[in-house]
């Protein structure tokens, strides 16, 4: 009889509802995957072991897929050690596998998270030593197996991390710009913006191309985990033939005649990086890329669409020739010019700017239709939505973005 397991899928804070919606779509591929409670930081679900493979393969928004091993109340680090040492770790993985232990805590009374991590590690290795006289080694850099602990004020939960490397690492990225937007955050922003294949999409500050690549893979139906490996492949219950069958069942979509996905950036080096990343990600069609300052952009196609971008900081946001301006004044001039461009040239478009700078609407001189809080790692950000009204502040007809503009 097959065993059902409890899973927790963490995600960037603010993306929980988007993740729950995505997991329900993934569950349509399975008869046993059930989606349960959404809580701050992620979504609980349950299913067979193959269901965690499915989530790892298809989820664009989850950060990891954690399989719950044990949960108990605790009062001290020794209670946590006793919980760890009594778990049958030897039934999950071999003693030859290397380990890493990570813990997170909210309102936990323990005095030292580092010491608590060591006690979980002691419990795991002592369990192996008691079973066969040898213990697994620790490798914090590239472990075979990751064990995660979560502590709140009263309870501790131990998980096996079935993902390994965080899921935003798709397995294709070789080149990045400064502080690139994480792939799972980009995918969540695309979903929240309402973008779907067939709606024109423009990222005018595309950097190394994360938003463009996520959109292109969504359009093609390419699973985000298709080109990478996972920790569950090291577990004792892994069935390589079933995993191969799951991947072989992937059916990508036909290449569209006109994808209507467009990108631009002030930096030619960034655009070169984007082209390389598009190739590595297996995107089978060309995305028009244009080297231009964001405040000079024009409609890429003569119909309403979506602008979604993560504005950078520093030199790439600047106005050429104004090197002597202070950073704040540089940003103010840039956003003021960008706001004018959006009002004049993008009638009936929806504009989404993801930024940690809460003064952006004021600098744009635009009133946001909506602002949604998210976290990019520890950084509190906002996704600002601006709806451009046709006929507002439009002194001239905008010119469309033509293919020859790329040259």
Helix axes 240-248, 49-58, angle to 10 degrees: 40
Nearest to 354 by CA among 214, 180, 217, 196: 180
Same domain, 385 and 274: yes
Same domain, 191 and 327: yes
Q: How many CB atoms lie within 10 A of CB 71?
A: 13
In a domain, 124, yes or no: yes
Cα–Cα nearest to 212, from 200, 230, 223, 226: 200
CA distance readout (Å), 233 to 52, 213, 248, 308? 11, 26, 16, 36
- Which CATH number does the domain housing residue 116 bear? 3.30.2130.30
Say what the pLDDT of residue 387 is: 98
Q: How many angstroms separate the CA atoms of 69 and 204, rounded?
A: 45
For residue 118, tell me if it sits in a domain.
yes
pLDDT per residue, tens digit, the chain (407 aa), is 579 999 999 999 999 999 999 999 999 999 999 999 999 999 999 999 999 999 999 999 999 999 999 999 999 999 999 999 999 999 999 999 999 999 999 999 999 999 999 999 999 999 999 998 999 999 999 999 999 999 999 999 999 999 999 999 998 876 666 667 899 999 999 999 999 999 999 999 999 999 999 999 999 999 999 999 999 999 999 999 999 999 999 999 999 999 999 999 999 999 999 999 999 999 999 999 999 999 999 999 999 999 999 998 654 454 444 555 565 788 899 999 999 999 999 999 999 999 999 999 999 999 999 999 999 888 899 999 999 987 655 444 444 444 444 43
Same domain, 152 and 194: no
Same domain, 203 and 342: yes
Assess if residue 101 is contained within a domain: yes
Does one domain contain both 110 and 258?
no
Shared domain check, 194 and 138: no
Place of tokens 């929240």: 192
Q: Is the domain of 271 the same as that of 333?
A: yes
Is 57 contained in some domain? yes
> Rounded to whole angstroms, how far apart are CA atoms 248 and 239?
14
Strands 42-47 and 201-203: unpaired
Q: Looking at the structure, tell me whether residues 363 and 309 fall in a common domain.
A: yes
Q: How far apart are CA 209 and CA 177, in angstroms?
A: 9
Q: Does residue 195 form part of some domain?
A: yes
Asked whether residue 193 falls in the same domain as residue 100, the answer is: no
Q: Count of domains in the chain?
A: 2
Res 313: pLDDT: 63
Closest of 137, 124, 160 to residue 237, by C-alpha: 160
- The residue among 88, 44, 40 whose CA lies nearest residue 66 is 44
Q: Check whether residue 144 and residue 290 sit in a common domain.
A: no
Same domain, 150 and 193: no
Q: Please indicate, yes or no, if residue 244 is contained in any of the structural domains.
A: no
- Residue 34 shares a structural domain with residue 142: yes
Q: Is residue 40 part of a domain?
A: yes
Residues 323, 215: Cα–Cα separation, whole Å: 34
Q: Give the whole-angstrom CA distance, residue 394 versus residue 406.
A: 25
CATH number of the domain bearing residue 294: 3.40.50.150
**What is the pLDDT, as a whole number, of residue 391?**
60
- Of 349, 182, 380, nearest to 260 by C-alpha is 349
Residue 208 belongs to some domain of the structure: yes
**Structural domain that includes position 364:** 183-228+253-406
Can you give the pLDDT at residue 2?
Answer: 79
Q: What's the pLDDT score for residue 396?
A: 43
């Amino acid at each position: 009889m097959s065993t059902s397991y409890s899973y927790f899928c963490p995600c960037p804070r603010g993306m929980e509802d988007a993740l729950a919606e995505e997991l329900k779509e993934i569950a349509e591929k399975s008869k046993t995957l059930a989606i349960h409670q959404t809580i701050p930081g992620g979504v609980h679900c349950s299913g067979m072991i193959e269901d965690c493979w499915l989530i790892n393969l298809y989820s664009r928004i989850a950060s990891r897929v954690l399989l719950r091993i044990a949960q108990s109340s605790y009062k001290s680090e020794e209670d946590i050690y006793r919980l760890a040492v009594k778990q049958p770790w030897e039934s999950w993985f071999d003693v030859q596998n290397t380990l890493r232990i990570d813990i997170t805590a909210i309102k936990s009374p323990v005095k030292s998270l580092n010491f608590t991590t060591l006690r979980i590690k002691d419990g795991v290795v002592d369990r192996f030593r008691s079973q066969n006289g040898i213990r697994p080694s620790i490798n914090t850099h590239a472990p075979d197996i990751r064990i995660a602990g979560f502590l709140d004020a009263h309870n501790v939960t131990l998980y096996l991390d079935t993902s390994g490397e965080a899921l935003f690492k798709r397995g294709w990225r070789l080149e990045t710009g400064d502080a690139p937007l994480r792939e799972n955050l980009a995918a969540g922003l695309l979903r929240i913006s309402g973008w779907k294949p067939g709606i024109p999409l423009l990222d005018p500050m595309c950097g190394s191309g994360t938003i463009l690549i996520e959109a292109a893979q969504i359009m093609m139906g390419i699973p985000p985990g298709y080109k990478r490996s996972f920790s569950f492949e090291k577990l004792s219950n892994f069935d390589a033939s079933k995993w191969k069958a799951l991947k072989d069942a992937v059916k990508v979509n036909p290449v569209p005649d006109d994808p209507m996905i467009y990108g631009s950036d002030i930096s030619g080096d960034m655009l070169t990086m984007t082209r390389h990343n598009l190739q590595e990600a297996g995107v089978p069609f060309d995305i028009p890329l244009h080297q231009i300052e964001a405040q000079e952009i024009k409609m890429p196609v003569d119909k309403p669409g979506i602008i979604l971008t993560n504005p950078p900081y520093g030199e790439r946001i600047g106005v050429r020739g104004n090197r002597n301006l202070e950073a704040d004044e540089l940003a103010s001039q840039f956003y003021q010019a960008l706001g004018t461009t959006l009002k004049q040239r993008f009638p009936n478009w929806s504009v989404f700017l993801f930024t940690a700078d809460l003064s952006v609407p004021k600098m744009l001189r635009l009133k946001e239709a909506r602002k949604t809080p998210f976290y990019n790692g520890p950084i509190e950000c906002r996704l600002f939505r601006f709806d451009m009204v046709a006929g507002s502040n439009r002194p001239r007809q905008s010119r469309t973005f033509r293919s020859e503009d790329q040259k």
